[in-house]
Amino acid sequence: MQHFQHYIGGRFANGAAQFPSTDPATGEIWAMMPEAREADVNAAVDAAHSAFVSPEWADMTATGRGKLLQRLADLVAENAPKLAQLETRDTGKIIRETSAQIAYVADYYRYYAGLADKIEGAHLPIDKPDMEVWLRREPVGVVAAVVPWNSQLFLSAVKIGPALAAGCCVVLKVSEQAPAPMLEFARIFDQAGFPPGVLNIITGFGPTCGSVLTSHPKVDHVAFTGGPETARHIVRNSAENLASTSLELGGKSPFIVFEDADIESAVNAQVSGIFAASGQSCVAGSRLIISNKIKDAFLTRLKEKAEAVIIGDPNDMATEIGPLCTQAQIQTATDIIAASENAGASVITGGRPVAIRGNYFPPTIIDCSDTPDAPCLTQEFFGPVLSVVGFDTEADALRIANDTAYGLASGVFTRDLTRAHRMIRKIRAGIVWINTYRAVSPIAPFGGHGLSGHGREGGIQAALDYTKVKTVWLRTSDAPIPDPFIMR
């Protein structure tokens, strides 16, 4: 039985209590996690605030912050195999995916290391001849970062990296579901040489940890990744401290395939878009919007690939789909599928839990072409479930794609360049992939609108979101300022 600790003010500490973590592949308890409550949260925020105003961090040059982030990137790369094993053990994500993803996480820290001393202000060509006016970008302050269990090292990097590059200090609250990788990351961060309190890592439950953190009077910005309902609580909490927010939420992303698309390429992208990470991704291409001219041929090929997917031990490099993180996800998927079938949708393949120990659910395809009101078209599964709708015209495809309260990601497959540009302009989503899917980079902003949230992660925009603008006025005339009460 392994035991993990919080990281507060540069020290490792037990929480107010402990709770067990379960291996999704076996259903067995394998570790005990620290549970943060109000006193722990207060200690973490106080540590971050003290670090933020301390000369050791506040007076450090941007170049100095970049060097520390570069050191952190090197340490993440060195420790990637161990972090991948922990993430697989605690979340059930397959080892070949966690290994590849965590190795790439180091590049995010490298990107923000290089960006730290390139966050620039501006000189304003002001309309007053005896004035010089410029803008300074300064760190917003203490950041409360809240991340879910899926892809948590990546989702933390796109918050920690830009926040520290900008000069902020962070309290990271990781999900009570599978927090082990980030609690281990704390040990890696501790070796990088940052001043104590610059980053604090805790875990705990919403009412006793998350709510206390996001409403804390010393928190200046809240960066959250998760579901819309939790985001609503965070926005309400931020009314207490008037903290700014950036929200990266869920999605019900359209994956549009026109009749001229390369079918094999589109099928492979759809398999990756919905079945990779067992569908536990906010950008999962969970709505296939397919031209009726190729629908039957496409679904035949897709069904073949879905049924050939290897389900099994997430630690086996041959495994292509591992277990879902929680038993509750299986129940959610089962309920939504049953309701969709009752509404008239038909299951092409999958649809029922795999009869082996652990939280396994198979790749599932549901045809909803004749049931536009099927629940599976509007509700996010966070599992390997694809809903299918056919279309006849480009206008139909666009209407179906935009018929959602979400607006995170989208994919379009076509060889027609002019059609692609029309779709790019008219699809309401923060990301549009053309003839590809699920591509990410530290250089490219990531985010959405509607129920998918606001703000961007990745790219220079993310770093700017952790700054505030200060306007500086400098009078250049040596002449005395005129008496304001003498009219001339």
Active site residues: 248
CA distance 281 to 456: 17
φ, ψ for residue 320 (rounded to 5)? -110, -25
Cα Rg of the chain, angstroms: 24
Distances (CA, A) of 34 to 42, 123, 185, 206, 217: 15, 49, 15, 14, 24
Give the DSSP letter string of 170-182.
EEEEE-SSS-HHH
DSSP state, residue 386:
E
The answer to whether 169 and 142 have CB atoms below 8 angstroms apart is yes
470 SS3 class:
strand
**CA proximity to 181, closest of 108, 110, 97, 84:** 84
Q: Give the CA dihedral 298, 300, 303, 305, nearest 10 degrees.
A: -80
CA distance 277 to 94: 7
CA distance 43 to 200: 10
CA distance 192 to 211: 30
Dig out the tokens for 298 from the structure. Answer: 């496409």
CA distance 235 to 230: 9
Cα dihedral across residues 180, 186, 189, 191: positive or negative: negative
